[in-house]
Homo-oligomer: A and B are copies of this chain.
Amino acid sequence: MSFIDFSAGVFIQTQTPPSAVGNRLLASLPDNELDVLFPYLEPHDLEFESTLFETGQPLEYVYFPSSGLISLLATVDGGSSLEVGIIGKEGMANASAALGALTSPSRAIIQGAGTAFRLKTDDLAAYGGSLNRYVLLYIHYLMVQITQSAACYRFHPIEQRLARWLLMTGDRMESNEYRITQDFLSHMLGVRREGVNRAAGELQRKNLISFSRRNILTIDRAGLEATACSCYAVIRREEESFQDLVSTFS
């Protein structure tokens, strides 16, 4: 889907945006505000395993996913990487632009294919409105995610972290099956591929998941929640209060 197609097919023709914009931040906007913003939103494909932006790169666009999954990665020593945040349709990427920052604090890669609307950071700054309030609330939620991740990586074993990752990904993808290699996953969890293999083997032995080449299937969600560390619940709770605040305002 390109910007021209979309614009001609939906926006220009009807003069109203599609009633269901997949992204929840955008969908929470009052209709009149969304009308104003809509001409500046540009559809953008999220291609699996591609890089959306790099750490330290100038903030050019912010991205509002309608579907798919974006991972925020911290990298050190030019190699090792670690997922510090997961962004689905409840949020946005490059939110730091709303803080007046000039460069991105982390790397972002597409961890689940989908589509997003993107918006030039200048347009976001110029726009203001209710969106700005949502974006700031979202940044707070993201900080909780990152903070919790820091502690999680320090204190919790791989198996618990994997369980948490599967749950958080499942929540956002609304699916219990993912196509992903263990090698890719190892860069998310900040461990070696072999570590992922052993942890996944352990979860399978407990009949919580089932996995094969490029594929992981969640079998027992409740069991996974019991196995995952408390970080999942903490982040989940914070997300709910974020959603509550957003709906209060809209």
- Range for the number of chain A residues in contact with chain B: 35 or more
Q: Given A152-B76, A155-B77, verify A137-B99 contact (CB < 8 Å).
A: yes
The answer, yes or no, to whether A151 is at the interface (CB within 8 Å) is yes
A74 and B151 form a contact (CB under 8 A): yes
A227 to chain B, nearest CB (A): 15
Name 10 A/B residue pairs within 8 A (Cβ), A-sorted: A84-B147, A84-B151, A96-B143, A99-B136, A102-B241, A102-B245, A105-B140, A136-B136, A139-B143, A154-B154
A172 to chain B, nearest CB (A): 20
Chain copies in the assembled complex:
2
Q: Given A151-B82, A153-B153, A245-B102, verify A76-B231 contact (CB < 8 Å).
A: yes
The answer, yes or no, to whether A18 is at the interface (CB within 8 Å) is no
Please tell me which one of the listed residues B81, B100, B105, B137 contacts residue A101 in the complex, with CB atoms under 8 A apart.
Answer: B137
Question: Which residues in B have their C-beta under 8 angstroms from that of A206?
Answer: none
A131 to chain B, nearest CB (A): 13
In the complex, chain A residues 32-58 whose Cβ is within 8 Å of any chain B Cβ: none
Question: Which residues in B have their C-beta under 8 angstroms from that of A102?
Answer: 241, 245
In the complex, chain A residues 96-153 whose Cβ is within 8 Å of any chain B Cβ: 96, 98-103, 105-106, 133, 136-137, 139-140, 142-144, 146-153
